[in-house]
Amino acid sequence: MRITNNMLVNNMINSIGSNLVRMDKFQNRLATGKKIQVPSDDPVVAARALKLRTDVSEVDQYKRNVKDAQSWLEVTEGVLGNVGDVLHRARELAV
């Protein structure tokens, strides 16, 4: 089979096109500082990143729950202290 100039030019154009795509990909990585632009770049790492993001969200929710529980306990403690004072006063009045 004879290799024509047209075949060589088409091959070179295809190579240049694929190199431009690769260069664009690397420029995006440099510009954003992210290795993965889309999950298909590295599905395993993308899955791990999503799992970590979910874990961080869960931990943040746990922290909010702890703060809410502490606030509730402080209010409850104050109310119970008042109830104790009222009961003590009721005993004094009953005697």
pLDDT digits (tens, 9 = 90+) for 47-76: 999 999 999 999 999 999 999 999 999 999
Tokens 């004879």 sit at which residue? 2
1 has pLDDT over 80 = no
pLDDT at 38 (0 to 100):
84
Q: What are phi and psi of 11, to 5 degrees?
A: -65, -40
Q: For 40-45, which contacts have Cβ atoms below 8 Å and span 24 or more sequence positions?
A: none
Check residues 38 and 61 and name the one with the higher pLDDT. 61
pLDDT tier at 19, thresholds 50, 70, 90: very high
